[in-house]
Amino acid sequence: MCSIMGYCGASADYERFMEGFEKTISRGPDDSRVVDTGNGYLGFHRLAIMGLTPSGMQPFSLGSSYVVCNGEIYGFEKLKKELSDKYTFVSESDCEVLLPMYREYGTDMFAMLDAEFACILYDGETNTYLAARDPIGIRPLYYGYDEDGVIVFASEAKNLTSLVERIMPFPPGYYYKDGEFVCYCDISHPESACRDDLETVCRKIHDKLTAGVEKRLVADAKVGFLLSGGLDSSLVCAIAARKSKEPIRTFAIGMSEDAIDLKYARQVADYIGSDHREVFMTPQQVISELEHVIYLLGTYDITTIRASMGMYLVCRAIHQETDIRVLLTGEISDELFGYKYTDFAPDAEAFQRESEKRIHELHMYDVLRADRCISVNSLEARVPFGDLDFVKYVMSVEPELKMNHYGKGKYLLRRAFQEDGYLPEEILWREKAAFSDAVGHSMVDYLKEYAEKKYTQEEFEKKAAEYSYARPFTKESLLYREIFESYYPGQAEMIAGYWMPNKEWEGCDVNDPSARVLSNYGASGK
């Protein structure tokens, strides 16, 4: 995961720019470069994944124009070939294609990209800046305005805390030009409804997910896989194992005392023949790393923080003990196919609206978690379930088919892979368990206990009342909010409140985001 930043005006202060930019050097520890465009600054911290030679270093230039991009552009070889008659390419980097594309197609280029990306582009001919972000928001981008009204873009909120008054997430599927944000793709709302029957839907899910995994295996750096033992990460690993000539390298984490997932991850690893590594976390680590994790995340959301504890620690071990640079993960499946709580959706229309909401806000929750936990450890995340073709198709499928009428959540995804032996039956049909629970129920229990001891009931009520936006509603949520505010004061609106089940649905009016509090949790904790 690289880091990009742009201070987009002639009044930009270099020292202030660098002060913010240096906060995310761990995203790109291989090299750093800043260019003065004559109308501000563009900066790039490099994590070399594609085109490992110095020629792949950004910012790329074309005439008087520059671009910095944190991303992976799939199928860039074809794009380069199409443009090679008019442009000379000097590197093997996928992102070098962006400036020629902009010169040929203007802002129409963004809708043409099959990519996970965030970019900032300086147009030297018009002396203006553009920025854009992928439709799901897999690659992070934030913005704000300094005291002179100059816009500043950066990969993370922490880059901007000393530069702007209000930090906002750059909306996914938008580009910025001439002071306006323009939507080029709203992936949460399908352009048309798919009328495919059940068998056709399952076949296409199978083929599109397989293609999404395969294209993400292409890298000039070493690739690894996060394997929880749940359905989503297990499918990604199983597909990759079939497509790889050598055993893939998989990693799992759990509490030292009551890990739920580790045994399932081990079973999957044995089945697919991966080179598997287990990492254990302790109660002491959970508490001691809590403040650091909240700082690196830039959120106060309960479920995001809980799920990040294990993910951060396993990624740290991968960074410290291996030569892996790229990690494939299983995020985004839940938003497409349903959580445990979406079993309570009253009808198909409500299910679809909830899915659209989750996809629209995804960049603030699970995607944010994966990006920060992985990038802070100088690794790159790739998300096959976020493949644009795959997401567009699943979102277009009749919601009635996606609802749990089958006695098992995510039925379409499970059925899509039941015929060709990718996974053992007991894994393919295993009950879903959230990652924050599946690393061991004790982890959340320790966090709750720690928060409970920190505040009396009177202190909790008094402190919680100080917040008008996203008011803390438990001692645990207050603890997280206070830590967040110490690093990001007054920036709570970066997050669309707390991730919680839809309280309007019967069975979902709960006071905790964990599926453990739902009546249908069942065998998820076994």
Active site (catalytic) residues:
2
Q: Tell me the residue type at 521.
A: Y
> What's the CA gap between 475 and 448, in Å, rounded?
8
Q: Structure tokens of 454?
A: 């920190």
Residues 6+ apart with CB under 8 A from 58: 2, 33, 44, 46, 67, 68, 69, 93, 95
Distances (CA, A) of 73 to 76, 91, 136, 503, 506: 6, 14, 14, 39, 43
113: amino acid identity, one letter:
L
Phi, psi of 153, deg, nearest 5: -110, 150
Dihedrals phi, psi of 489, to nearest 5 degrees: -60, 130
8-state DSSP, 341: G
CA 393, chain centre distance (Å):
20
The answer to whether the beta carbons of residues 213 and 384 sit under 8 Å apart is yes
- In whole angstroms, give the CA distance from residue 412 to residue 168: 36
Greatest CA separation found in the chain? Answer: 71
Contact criterion met (CB below 8 Å) for 34 and 59: no
Please name which of 67, 65, 49, 46 lies closest in space to residue 57, comparing C-alpha atoms. 46
Element (H, E) at 328: strand 324-328
DSSP string, 30-77: TEEEEEE-SSSEEEEEE---SS-SGGGPSSEEETTEEEEEEEEETTHH
Give CA–CA dist 327/373, Å, rounded: 11
- The residues pairing with 120 across neighbouring beta strands, listed in sequence order, are 68, 131
Task: Report the alpha-carbon distance of residue 4 to residue 131 in Å, rounded.
Answer: 11
The answer to whether the beta carbons of residues 464 and 471 sit under 8 Å apart is: yes
Task: From 390, 383, 354, select the one nearest 187 (Cα to Cα).
Answer: 390
Report the b/e string of 289-299 with b at 16+ CB within 10 A.
bbeebbbbbbb
End-to-end CA distance of the chain: 35
